[in-house]
Amino acid sequence: MPDALHTLTIAELRTLLQKREISPADIIHDLEASITARDPEIGAYLHRDTAAALAAAEKADLSAPLGGIPVAIKDVLNVQGQPATAGSKMLRGYISPYDATCIAKLKSAGAIPFGKLNMDEFAMGSSNENSAWQLTRNPWDTTRVPGGSSGASAAAVAARTAIASLGSDTGGSIRQPAAFCGITGLKPTYGRVSRYGLIAYASSLDQVGPMTRTVEDAALVLQAIAGHDPQDSTSLNAPVPDYSAALRRGVSGMKIGLPREYFIDGIDPAVRAAVEAGVKELERQGATVREISLPHTRFAIAAYYIIATAEASANLARFDGVRYGHRCDTPADLRDMYDRSRAEGFGPEVKRRIILGTYVLSSGYYDAYYRKAQKVRTLIARDFAEAFKEVDLIASPVTPTAAFKIGKNAGDPLQMYLADIFTIANNLSGVCGISVPCGYSAEGLPIGLQLTGRPLGEEDLLRGAFAYEQATDWHRRLPQKS
């Protein structure tokens, strides 16, 4: 049996499994050893049920697309019989009675959900410092954040304690940690992947997507989880193409746009240089590159933090100590139970966003803030629609800097929010996007290249990302201790 199975990609493991050179149980045991050795330092896992994973491994259909492949799951997704805390004390002790649709689809494709991963509480954060449970560290430098809110999903894949993972992206929460940790992270088109069973933050923005070591692996996982779901009213009823077949078409003849609003002062020079070199590589392969404008970009963060917090205020109102979730001890009366249960169950960032969201929805402020933000959202979506009349993909940085030090922005919410300046507009407009490794900072930290595609444009997105990845070796490099 080959050594170090935890270092192999999905595609490589599939080959070994189908040749019967290894078994799914071999992968689980190898991963368990890697987690035991590495995770105490990284802090990615909140829960794992090895016995259940081995039982599933015994029954795995190796002829299925992901037969026998373990996939780690962000703790915002329901996996039947497993905890689902969304990184919050509010859901301590909750065991999911059902599978999210994307989990059911993974299982149907033969994959084995293995492990629940840490996250910013209710997906609200850009650094994983908002988890109620533990701090997750970046495997490239454990004094730095892994990004958020899917930071542990990225860190586990980068540290080789997960073969692949699922994350969720509301304003960059797949792409930003993927960039910080040097892996591939794909945010599908809104509605491409069902949100049924995803614990909601902002329902018009949330999207589930794959976090993997390679673009090919991202295509394989997306193939498994994409598709219409009648249990999700926002799910798109559109055919799912063969994403793997699109990978090797190359980028010759493709048109790539560079938005002038994304190449601004304040970007780390190493980030700018790496992204520009990435674009040059795509140009060398035959793509045509031109400058474009997304003129309403400057309003994206303000619009996002009005819309997202308003939806959070509504979605999190259900956690009141009555039906499920945390309930305070010995309340004096109903009002006391509501107040104390929510005060004890939610952390500071969640409270901040609930307060802001409640304010912008309140009488007298709805038109001034929420309605205006929705109008701005429409303008941002039109910017992308106009751009995609002339280009096939948009290239940009994922983040202005590489991963920052733990604690650096913890006391400055505005600086933390600005970490998502290049990713938020994708969620507001519903388009798809991907982060792929494209270089390193002066401190040796990963940098990500973001490609953005039109709605349901994942084929072109994966095609462009794969062409770049295959011409470089950034994705093959490992954190020092992996």
Catalytic residue numbers read 74, 149, 173
H or E segment and range at residue 435 = strand 432-440
User: Phi first, then psi: what are they for 285, rounded to 5°?
Assistant: -85, 5
